[in-house]
Structure 1
C-alpha cells in the first residue's frame, strides 16, 4: 500500500510541478516518484539530464523530510547524477 503523509501536500515545488513530477510513495524508508519524458527532453529528443537531477534531488529531500518534518528540514547540498541509458518516451521512475 502506498502512503503519502498529509504534510507532503503543503510542500509544493513549482519546478516539480512544471516537470510533472508525481510522488506515489513517501515514507521514512522509501520514496518513489516519476516524471513523463514528454515535455522534459533536450533538443535531441532524450530525457534532459537536468530533469533527472530534479527527480533525484526531490525524492532524496522528501525522504529526509519524512524523518523529521516539521521540526527538522533536510535539503540537498550535493548532487552527482550518472545516466544509465537514454530514454525517449514514457515515464522515468526514481526510488530513494
Structure 2
C-alpha cells in the first residue's frame, strides 16, 4: 500500500469525504486523549501531555540557569518545622 501524503487541509477533506463512522470515532478518541489531564501544577492547574512536557522543560531551563533546588530532606524539614519558624 502506497503511503498517502496529505496537507492538513487535504487530510481534513479526505476524512470528510471518505471516513467511516468507526474511523471518525477513533480520531475523536485520539484527539480527546491529547487533551486529557496528565498532571497538575503546584497551583492546581491541569496540564495535558503537551503542556506538561513544556512545563518540565521550563523548569529544567530555570535549573540550568541557576535556580535554587532543594533535596527531599530539605523540603521535609521545611514542612515539618514550619510552625517552629512561625513561632
Instruction: Give TM-score scaled by structure 1 length.
Output: 0.25
Structure with the bigger percentage of helix: 2
* Larger Rg belongs to: 2
Structure possessing the higher relative contact order (Cα contacts under 8 Å, 6 or more residues apart):
1
Q: Which has the higher strand share?
A: 1
TM-score by length of 2: 0.28
